[in-house]
Structure 1
Amino acid sequence: MSVRPVRVPGMDKDQVTEQLSGSWQDTRPARDALVRQGAAVATAVVDVLADERSPVDWTISADVLCRIGEPALLPLAQAVASADSPEVARRAGWSLGRLDVADPAVYEPLLKHPHPEVRGDALFAFQRRGEAAARFVGRLLPSLGDPDPKVRQRAVWAFEAIGAGALSALRHLREQPATGPRIRSGALEALAAVGGPAALGRRDQDAWRRLTRIKRLTEIPEALHLCGSWYAVPTGDQAAVLEAFDLGDPEPVTLRTGASAWNQDQHAWDRKRPHACCARVFVSPALDGWTLVFGHTSQDTHRIEDADDEDGAFEHVVRRRCADLSRRFGAAQWYGMSCGDGWTAWCIAEGGEVVRHYDAFDAEEGGDEDGENGGETGGDEGPAHPAEAGYLLPHQDGFPDDAFAGVPSSDPEAFRARYEQVKEELGIPDTCYATDIAARLSVDPGALDARTRVTGRGVLALTACGREHGHPAGALAV
């Protein structure tokens, strides 16, 4: 492997480009040499980073800047503030928040920088240090009242990363009305993010409940963002639903709060809080006569986690739960949707028996030309349900093999035009998803609107894990 000669300090942008043009491995000696030169080359390396036409991969120049550390701080801040494209701001901001510095106090002046993205990147530097940034809590508090909402959100995340070491200062700030409503509101959100409802004082909890009661009076149902799974039972007897799922301590909430909690818990990956995804469940009010249950109970979650075959255990839990619910309520359904891929699934039970179970990712090709399947083929079990009539199932392809011959894969508009043309000419049915089946059999939570009949009130209820560990941390929409 040939190694380029390393130049002396005082390089300009072109010389740095020459040194850093190449692969990650080939440029290692040059990167190490530039790091040693530090302040003498920091500005030139920033210029390379900010050049979207540069032959240098931006991660290579970012590595140099991060290791140079403090001398790159101000040049990067200037690059963020003067960026003429979102990509340049992203590159410079990424590097700015990750500088290898001995003391994060060097970021403090940037917390008052006139450009909001610079302030946000400085907050990210403190966020990365987690609990170690607790000594800076007092200097981070003003950022909770920043005029820019993105900076305020970044400040909340910084306090969330700091954790319990920030609670005392945040509570004290909440008790100081002279600080202004915006910063006190930010402190409230940060408190919830750090410790959940338990971190709030009695006055704040009472205020939240009053606001919830007011909002519920005029709330108009809105479509929920669907990512996860939910059950549907044909009843307005909420107490019976809570008992069926072994839920307790129900707290009345708006639909918006319930949906916020479900989405937050569904995407909880914090290993420090292992029960965040199974501590609570959102039980809806009766929606057009159906009660929907969003989330995972303790028993179901841990039964799946402890199984040798998690996929098999998941299906078994869903089927048994649906059968038990339908025995109690006459019918029950379970639905699943993902916002990150094409997964969709449903399970339908009537009178104590599962009559249909479908999982798009497990289903195998099969059945007759009408899409019906009379046997069990992986995730496509049981005869097709009447609710599926007139649809293709997600794993079925109704298009001929040559339907898109000659259409370049790089031209999505041409592909879409051919798709619509062939679909119309051949009368190919639409593909159904869990929401389509739910709309026919019960309620599609992704289509709630002012026409949805709402009876009763929704609640956040604790599972066995929740009753032991409390509500997950995190601020919820009201």
Structure 2
Amino acid sequence: METTGLDRLQALLAGHSMSPDGWWRLDQGEVAALLDEVREQAGAEDLNVRQQIWDALDRVVDEPNRDDLLALVITRFEAEQFRRVLTDTDPEVRRRTWRSHTVRGRFIEVVMQLLADEHFDYAWPDCIEMLRARTTFDTLVLALAGAPEDGLRKRLWVVLGLPADTRVPEFLPDHSCATLVQCTFCPESYDEVAIHECRHFPIVVTLLGSSLDEVRQQAMESLMVFGLGVVDTLRSIPRAHRKVRGGALAMLAEFGWHLLPPRDLMTLERLIRSKQHAETPEPLDFACFSGSWYALPTTDQNAVLDALDLRDPISVTLRMGFAPLRFTPWQRSHPMTMYLETWAGVHGFAEWNAEATRDAYLRDFYHQVFVTPALDGWTLVFHKTKALPAALDTPLEQQRLEMYLRMEQLSLRFGTAQWFEQLPDSYAPGECWSQWCLAQDGDIRMHCVSSGDVRIHRSDEIDPTAPLDRLYEWLETNGNPYGTHTAPADNDRVEAYVAMLRERDHERYLPDDEDELDSASTIQDLAFGARGASRRLSVNLEALGSHTCVQGTGVLAVPAHLRHRPRRGALPI
């Protein structure tokens, strides 16, 4: 391709300001014709021509957009063109094939062939990077099961984060391994197979010891499909296989804590105690938090457990307690989601496909409640929204009345009781719906909801239609004088936001009930939502650190009416 062609391409691309998704729309018209010329010569047989084009492409667009341009070029390569680029002697040319995140299913076969070919050992690191970035877990497991002991098999172990000389354990057909399981990797995925006859099960178990978090997670998700039939085998993994056994214990915890061997439970308890003594509280990231919490000004954890009728407390670290409340749309939840048949087995339902079993499965939720140690004199009680109400199908108004009653009772016992709730918006990062309530000496002083607007639901101190700067002043006046409030930078933003509201609040808009679930912006939440109110009224969770006074240890407990539910989930210690 002549220099004038690349110059023309550069001029055409300079006229577009595109998002990453928008780049694909450029592959049409004159741009498409020029890109076709680029592809032909970027994948040419002549090494010199090929390298000249790749060098020139670096100058066509600036660095932030370079990978998007490479994606336009590479994804429409023919297989042979892609092979030539991936086997180029210039490492920078090879690197472009995986740096631009463009490997698609039709190129995987080419990558696998090169990874098995001893003539292209110099390209193996690039093949490994490519397979890690874009190949599905299932594809690699199937490839491992069919690969010979040497060559490709060794390098596939490396792709998956294990040493090249990894050997899978042998499961003999004894009383435990004869159990039938469902293997989605087998040709007839709906047919059951004995564990000792399944080529894929030992591979998946071995991958529990991978150095890559994503691979370990995918191995656990695959074992969840195998079902409860793998439990005895996981318990039998020798302690000599330390990493694999550690992953097996995590998998057993996902099925149910009662399935962990007693000796390992004792080891975990000792580890938790040692971690508790050395643990420094870490700031809570509200952008990744979903749940509710009570704040009570007491260091008497037993009194808190009794007041909320929480049973069977188990000592945990702060990291363990907060883990189930962390939320991102793409993050694996704690505990893992179970398939209906496996869930029914764990919960003791005889018929997994019965209507009653399905109804119970759909009503399942994380029911454990985290009671913190005293943090600067406050004990906090974190829970998923459904964990503490008496019934899931209670109407919204009834739930509100039950919350008021509980807050009144707690404030009579502890003098003050606060409750906060935050539900992040999955479709609008940084936005959320939240509410908070403050009770004192048996009376509800304030209940506020922050959504598309700010609504005062109940207050004897501020008129619900009063300007919002009155609410802000109330929070400032009634804040915890000994707590850490808003960070200076945030405080400036909040003050500016309140000043803006003060100027235009003469036409204050109160939403109808159907608008209540609209999201609040980050700045609104800092001023009036659960995030901002909790900072002022009790404990600033975003400022936890070495300066925080910690008394006692945290526990995970369960509401009395949910004690029948198995406790499960692999939580980070």
Q: TM-score scaled by structure 2?
A: 0.54
Distance in structure 2 (CA, Å) of the matches to 1:365 and 1:172: 57
Distance in 2 (CA, whole Å) between partners of 1:302 and 1:108 is: 58
Aligned partner letter, 2:441: G
Q: Structure 2: 5+ residue runs without aligned partners? A: 1-38, 44-77, 87-93, 117-122, 163-182, 327-331, 344-360, 478-490, 504-522
Verify the 8 A CA contact 2:411 2:439 in the aligned structure 1. yes
RMSD: 5.0
Structure 1 residues 359 and 115 mapped into 2: Cα distance closer, same or farther (>3 Å)? Answer: farther
**Alignment-derived partner of residue 31 in structure 1:** none
Is the alpha carbon distance of 1:85 and 1:145 closer, same or farther for their aligned partners in structure 2, counting shifts above 3 Å?
closer
SS in 2 for 1:251: strand
- Shift of residue 51, structure 1, vs aligned partner: 12
Task: State the alpha-carbon separation in 1 of the partners of residues 223 and 319 from structure 2.
Answer: 24
Equivalences for residues 112-261 of structure 1 within 5 A = 112-114=154-156, 116-117=158-159, 135=198, 136-173=200-237, 176-179=238-241, 181-193=242-254, 195-226=255-286, 227-228=289-290, 229-261=292-324
Q: Work out the CA distance in 2 between the residues paired with 1:131 and 1:168.
A: 21
> In the aligned structure 2, how far is the partner of 1:400 from the partner of 1:441?
22
Q: Cα gap change, 1:111/1:208 in structure 2, threshold over 3 Å: closer, same or farther? A: farther
8 Å contact from structure 1 (residues 356, 384) kept in 2: no
Once the two structures are TM-superposed, the CA of residue 331 in structure 1 deviates from its matched residue by 1.0
Q: Distance in 1 between matches of 2:148 and 2:296?
A: 54
What SS class does the counterpart of residue 74 from structure 1 fall into? helix
Change (3 A) 1:114 1:315: same
Tell me how far apart the structure 2 counterparts of residues 323 and 166 of structure 1 sit (CA, whole Å).
48
Contact kept in structure 1, 2:370 and 2:555, CA below 8 Å: yes
Cα distance between partner residues in 2 of 1:44 and 1:104: 27
Q: Is the 8 A contact 1:234 1:290 kept in 2?
A: yes
Whole-Å separation in 2 of the counterparts to 1:114 and 1:254: 37
User: Does the 8 Å contact 1:279/1:464 carry over to 2?
Assistant: no
Deviations 1:41-89 (A, max 9, x none): 8667999999999xxx979x65x789xxxx67836989x9665998x76
Structure 2: how far apart are the matches of 1:307 and 1:288?
35
The aligned counterpart of 2:563 is 467
The aligned counterpart of 1:281 is 369
Say yes or no: does 1:329 pair with 2:417: no
1:293 correspondence with 2:381: yes
* Equivalent position to 1:456, from 552, 555, 558: 552
Specify the code of the residue in structure 2 equivalent to 1:453. C
| CA deviation string 1:293-320 (max 9, x = no partner) | 01147664563x31455xx555445444
- Indicate if the aligned counterparts of 2:416 and 2:440 stay in contact, CA closer than 8 A: yes
How many Å apart are 1:328 and its aligned residue?
A: 2.2
CA positional deviation for 1:466 = 4.2
Provide the C-alpha distance between the structure 2 equivalents of 1:76 and 1:353, rounded to a whole number of angstroms.
Answer: 73
Q: Decide whether aligned partners of structure 1 residues 332 and 267 sit closer, same or farther in structure 2, where only a CA change above 3 A counts.
A: farther
Q: Is the 8 A contact 2:132 2:160 kept in 1?
A: no
What's the CA shift for 1:156? 3.1
**For residues 5-50 of structure 1, what are the alpha-carbon distances to aligned partners after superposition, in whole Å with 9 as ceiling and x for unaligned?**
xxxxxxxx87xx9xxxxxxxxxxxxxxxxxxxxxxx8667999999
- Counterpart CA distance in 1 for 2:536 and 2:389 is 28
Corresponding residue for 2:176? none
2:444 aligned residue (337, 347, 354): 354
Q: 1:126 Cα deviation (Å)? A: 5.4
Is contact 1:42–1:65 with CA below 8 Å preserved after alignment? yes
For residue 233 of structure 1, report the CA deviation from its aligned partner.
0.8
Q: Secondary structure at the match of 1:477?
A: coil
Looking at structure 1, the residues matched to 572 and 190 of structure 2 have their Cα atoms a distance apart, in angstroms, of 25
Letter in 1 for 2:418: Q
CA distance in 2, matches of 1:385, 1:131: 66
Give the partner amino acid of 1:167.
V
- 2:553 maps to a residue whose letter is R
CA contact (8 A) 1:280 1:462 kept: yes
Contact 2:334 2:571 (C-alpha < 8 Å) held by counterparts: no
Question: How far apart are the structure 1 equivalents of 2:148 and 2:451?
Answer: 49
What letter is aligned with 2:244? I
The percentage of counterpart residues that share the same residue type is 29
| 2:500 equivalent among 369, 373, 398 | 398
Contact kept? 1:221, 1:450, Cα under 8 Å: yes
Q: 1:213 to 1:247 in 2, by over 3 A?
A: same
- CA 1:42–1:352 in structure 2 vs 1: closer, same or farther (change >3 Å)? farther
Residue 321 of structure 2 aligns with an amino acid whose one-letter code is G
What is the distance in 1 between the residues matched to 2:246 and 2:81?
42
TM-score normalised to structure 1 length: 0.63
- Secondary structure at the aligned position of 1:177 is classed as coil
* 1:468 CA drift (Å): 0.8
Following superposition of structure 1 onto structure 2, how do residues 365-444 of structure 1 map, counting pairs within 5 Å? 374-375=463-464, 386-388=474-476, 392=494, 398=500, 431=527, 433-444=529-540
1:48, 1:267 → 2: CA distance? 43
| 4+ long deviations beyond 6 Å | 41-53, 107-111, 129-134, 264-268, 393-397
SS in 1 for 2:420: strand
The offset of 1:255, in angstroms, is: 1.6
1:322-341 Cα deviation digits (max 9, x unpaired): 23321222111112345654
Could you list the runs of 5+ residues in structure 1 that have no partner in the other structure? 1-12, 18-40, 367-371, 402-422
Counterpart Cα distance in 2 of 1:373 and 1:271 = 49
What is the CA deviation profile of residues 428-455 of structure 1, one whole-angstrom value per residue up to 9, with x for unaligned ones? Answer: 9x84653443233211233221221122
Q: Looking at CA atoms only, which structure, 1 or 2, has the larger radius of gyration?
A: 2
